[in-house]
Structure 1
Amino acid sequence: MSGSAAHDLVLQGALKELKKKDLSSRQGIFDTFRKLHPKLKDAFYLRPEEDEEDPYESSQMMVVIANAHGIFGVYPMREIYEFSRIWAIGSGRKFAMGAMYAVYDQDLSAREIAEIGVRAGCEFDVSSSLPMTVYTVEVAAGAAKEA
C-alpha cells in the first residue's frame, strides 16, 4: 500500500468489517472498494478531497493486491488494473519497474525478480529504504510466469 502510513491499519479494519468481499477479479475488487469507500469516510474519517477537478472522491491510497488470481493495482479513484507480469508501488516504483523489466526474461523466480525491483527502488529513490519483507503466494493454474 502506498500513501499515509495510517492507511494500513485503516484498510485492515475496514476490510474486516466488510461482510462480502471479492479480491479475485478486476470487477470483484472494484465492487469491494466501492463498498469500502463510504466506510472509510464514515467510520475512519477519510478525507476524500484531492483536486476539485477530480471526477470522483479519492480513497487517498494506492494498493497492490497479489494473490492466486493475479496482480491487481487499485488507484485512488478506484481504477483497477490487472497486470500480467510485474507491478510496483510507491515513490520508487519507476526504478523498480525498470529493474524488474530488465531481468524478467532471465531464469529467475518471481521472488528474485521482486527483490531486484525493491532493491533498485531503494537504491535510487531517496524516499524508499530497506529492509524489505517478501511474502509468496501460490498462483492459480495458468497465472504462473511462462517459461
Structure 2
Amino acid sequence: MSNKDELLKLENQVCFQLYSASRYLTKLYQPLLKPLDLTYPQYLVMLVMWEEAMGQKFTVTELGQRLKLDSGTLTPLLKRLEGKKLIQRQRSTEDERQVWVRLTPLGESLKQQARRVPEKLLCNTQVKVEELTALRETLRKLFDDKPID
C-alpha cells in the first residue's frame, strides 16, 4: 500500500475523528442533561445565556453567531426553551425583524444544577484536563472565526 493510499484510510481522516468524537461526547451528555430536561443543543443555548447576568438579553442573530447556527436551526430550539419557560422571546419594538431573548428566573435557577455537568462529563471521558484543554485550543486554532456557511 502506498503513502497516498494511507491518506485515504478512514482512521487517518481528521474529519472522521472529529465526527466520531462529537457523536460520542453528545451521547455522554445525554444522561447528564436528562435531569435538566435539556437536549444537547438546548444546553448549548443555555450556556450562552448563563454567561451573562440575569436580565441581559441577546438578539437571535447574536445567539446564532455565538453558537454558529443559522436562525432556521436556532428558532425551533428557542421555541422549545420558551415552552419550558426557561427563556422569553420578545420582538423588538424598534425593528420587528429583530427578536430579543432573555433568561427567565426559572432558566437562571437551572444554572445551579448545570454547574455539575462539566465535572461529571470529565469523569466519564477518562481524559486528563490538560489533554482536553490542549485539544480545545487546537480546535480553536482550526475553526474559530471561520464561517460555517
TM over 0.5: no
More helix by share: 2
Shorter-chain TM-score bucket reads: under 0.3
TM-score (norm 2): 0.27
TM-score (norm 1): 0.27
